[in-house]
Structure 1
Amino acid sequence: MSTSVTSSTKIDNGSIKSPVWTTIKFDVPGIQTDFARVPYSSNTSAYGWIPVPMVCLNGDKGGPTALLTAGTHGDEYEGQVALRKLIHELAKTELQGRVIILPALNQPAVKVGRRNSPIDGGNLNRLFPGSLSDGPTAAIAHYVTSELFSLADLVIDLHSGGTSLDYLPMTLAHPGRNESEAGAIRRLLQCFGAPYSAVTNGSGGGGGSTLYAAAEQRGIAAITTELGSGSTLSETGLSIAESGIRHVLRDFGIAPAIEVSAKPTTRFVRFLERNGTIYAPCDGLFESFVKPGQRVLVGEKAGLIHRFDDVLAAPTELKFAEAGIVAFRRFPTLTATGDALFGLVTEVAE
């Protein structure tokens, strides 16, 4: 790891310096690796810090900066693997801009394969723009918001369905605060080229507390992804992540010579909000009748829940209240009241 001079810190609320620090000097050309060091006093380490791996590749040619993150949720692997592979490729590629990569943003959660941090229970993608008084996970969010966003021209935060969801491969973005920002976000979605793209207000998953929502509020073109399902590695999702990042880095002039596949296209959709989501009405064993990508009609049977509390009772039947395309379904069979079982999207005119 690099041992260069510590980078400058930012000011929180005009007076409090962020305690998170790194030895990376972001303006120095070449490759530097270190950690975002998140101070954490534990029972076994009074003055310790949590290591969040970070790499900066700087072509020093005045081009734009891409901030690429994965492992925001520790049980989502496609982005983590894609970024780790990308680091080795970019190390041999001439860059016209700068790429900052954090492949395990919530490192404690990544190490145990969980959505939330085992240290403080923090769901990193529900804690933006972050805080210095709500534990180490919120401090990671604060560091990204206060330090790294100021360096970035575009942001890609790679997610997948993780342990609980089977997801249609797609990108998501907030709409932007004005016409110019909306155009930049749309360009980023088209460059990445996932099979589906949705512009959303985030009401179904985090609202304004996600990484890409926080980036939007600072005028940065930002997207997130959903690229797999279950606590495993999807070959399809990994391929989409790798292809999408390559196209973005080439088309935005950061790595103009990087090898890319044929130009992908994306289909724009929108989520059908609450009427398009089916939640478990009871505890039990979930049986699905449909898959992500399947078109469904109003009243069509979605599945069953076999109740725990009465084995003689007929299973609880689930039906769609809207017509659309299945964007996600619950991955585990075991389910509890309130679990999201299905979500729908519908195509929109481009």
Structure 2
Amino acid sequence: MSFEWDGTEVPASSAAMFEIPVCTMASGFQLTLAVHAVAGKRSGPVTLVACGSHGEELWSSEFCRLLKSRLIRDGYDFSGTILLAPVLNPHSFESGTRNTPIDFHNLNRVFPGSALGKNWFTDVLAGVIAEKILPRADFIFDYHGGGSDTVIHYHYTVDPAASARNAVIHAVARASGAEVLWEHNEQRGTLSNCGDQLGKTCFVVETGGGGLILDQGYFEKAYSDFLNMLKVIEVVEGEPDLSAARIVVRKGTSLRPSHGGTFVPVCGLDIMGKSLTKGTVLGRVVSPYTFEILDEIKAPFDKTEVMMIRNRISKVHPGEYAYIIGDGDSGYDPRA
């Protein structure tokens, strides 16, 4: 069993890197996208781990790097080939911004993109990914994480009773290690939505963040969670553990500051994945000039399920991410 990319063979139990051409930039730089192929010791499907659509999500790209080394160190003990795309938006990574600095568009909102010369640069980038990378996979894990000052952990899911495909997506979500799952039907131009339209089975993983970038234990947990998800689709042998997910919410939202200034967290990492009562103070925005409290962000639901937090003292603008939360009363216990 071996994997082949444009005439180059990757034999079983080996790894290789490929560079996918995109275009020439105004600087004369020849932009390419790096894709690593790690071929397992058993035949099987092609699984893509897609990271770095948003440049400020450094944790996901670093996880991708460590993932390759761990898969090799552990003896290629999986089926098929795992493709790793660590940085899908190099210019966004370079600037450390969520959107592409060239045209200020969000890569994960413009899929399937467009051909060269037909639209904005970000659309062209999406078009190359949609044409050259996504079709190579059978399964797609679209990894996202927190930014430099945020940490996130939840997993999107769908109604498992609707179809056999939905049942697989739901089982993978339950195996993700996240305590809170969000039942959500994606309609925007995301990578996962594009993958679905190409007939792929896609999973959206939200985990990690800047506050955990030096936490080796969290990287180990993320690796263990990844292997557990691969057990559901039989890429890794063994019975998956589906016990971590305690609630599926059907209603979720983000909490964002109304005023800019210095964000001061009141709650720490210990609230991630937990249920809080309405009115719990999560964080405050204070003026670094007058020292007054400009905004106080509170849990809005009787059962507020925490999926993302801003866990560092940091500068914030009005409207930036502070928290992603779910309404516990909108959901159900997947273990029931």
TM-score (norm 1): 0.75
Q: Which runs of 5+ in 2 are unaligned?
A: none
Q: Please name the residue that 2:260 is paired with.
A: 283
Secondary structure at 1:328's aligned position in 2?
A: strand
CA shift in 2, pair 1:240/1:130, >3 Å: farther
SS in 1 for 2:144: coil
Work out whether residues 160 and 166 of structure 2, in 8 Å CA contact, stay in contact via their aligned partners in 1. Answer: yes
1:192 matched residue in structure 2 = 176
Per-residue deviation, 1:58: 4.2
User: CA–CA distance in 2 between the matches of 1:52 and 1:273?
Assistant: 33
Q: What is the DSSP-based 3-state SS (H/G/I as helix, E as strand, rest coil) of the residue aligned with 1:244?
A: helix
Is the CA contact 1:282–1:307 (under 8 Å) kept in the aligned structure 2? Answer: no
State the Cα distance separating 1:103 from its structure 2 match: 1.6
Helix, strand or coil: the match of 1:339? coil
> Which residue of structure 1 lines up, in the alignment, with residue 20 of structure 2?
36
Q: Structure 1: give runs of 5+ residues left out of the alignment.
A: 8-22
Check the 8 A contact 1:304/1:317 in 2, yes or no. yes
Structure 1 residues 95 and 283: CA distance shift in structure 2, 3 A: closer
Q: How many residues align?
A: 318
Give the TM-score taking structure 2 as reference length.
0.78
Q: How does 1:1-350 map to 2 (within 5 A)?
A: 7=6, 31-42=15-26, 44-45=27-28, 48-58=29-39, 63-91=44-72, 92-93=75-76, 95-132=78-115, 133-167=118-152, 169-173=153-157, 178-201=162-185, 208-230=188-210, 233=213, 234-256=215-237, 265-270=244-249, 272-274=251-253, 277-291=254-268, 292-293=271-272, 294-307=274-287, 311=290, 315-323=294-302, 324-330=304-310, 331=312, 333-345=314-326, 346=328, 348-350=332-334
SS in structure 1 opposite 2:82?
strand
**Structure 1 Cα separation of the partners of residues 84 and 285 of structure 2:** 42
Residue 277 of structure 2 aligns with an amino acid whose one-letter code is L
RMSD: 3.6
State the Cα distance separating 1:156 from its structure 2 match. Answer: 0.7
CA distance in 2, matches of 1:49, 1:242: 33
Instruction: Return the alpha-carbon distance in structure 2 between the equivalents of residues 87 and 218 of structure 1.
Output: 26
1:32 deviation in Å? 3.6
Aligned counterpart, 1:15:
none
Shift of 1:279: 2.6
Matches of 2:222 and 2:208, distance apart in 1: 10
Paired residue type of 1:87:
K
Change (3 A) 1:250 1:327: closer
Q: How far apart are 1:62 and its partner, in Å?
A: 5.2
